[in-house]
Amino acid sequence: MSVLSYLARFTAHAHPTPSDTLSLSQLAPAILNSSTVESPEQWALYENLLVSTLTTGDDKSARLVLERLSNRFGMENNRIMALHGLYEESVAIDDRELEDVLKGYEAILKDDPANLVRSP
């Protein structure tokens, strides 16, 4: 299945069902291993894939997707910073780690108060 096919399948609804989210998460290895020409659609799919893998607890695939996005756009990209924060929140194992994530958000906003990323 092509990146466009995956994207069409999982962006047809504004609010994916839990079943859609699980299906997309389970396709993470296939999507990450597919060779595609870089496109905006590919990166949109990867962003949706990251959220799906985090939602379903597939931290390993989530990390791989986040690495792909980070390598492409850089860690200084506002959207990548937000996605990295979501990942860190998801894998936090206790309140102390969640507090560290919140402190990271505060540091980002202190450096750039206009750094507000809107949801896709």
Could you read off the pLDDT of 55-72 as tens digits, one per residue? 999 999 999 999 999 999
- Does any domain span residue 40? yes
Tally of domains in the chain: 1
Q: Which domain holds residue 47?
A: 3-111
Tell me the pLDDT tens digit for each residue of 12-54. 556 777 887 787 888 888 888 876 778 888 888 899 889 989 9
Kind and range of the H or E element at 59? helix 59-73
In a domain, 117, yes or no: no
Q: In this model, does residue 119 exceed pLDDT 60?
A: no
Confidence of residue 9 (pLDDT cuts 50, 70, 90): low
In a domain, 118, yes or no: no
H or E segment at 77? none
Instruction: Give CA separation, 12 vs 2, 45, 61, in Å.
Output: 16, 12, 23
Q: What is the pLDDT of residue 120?
A: 45
Residue 116 lies in a domain: no
The pTM is what?
0.77
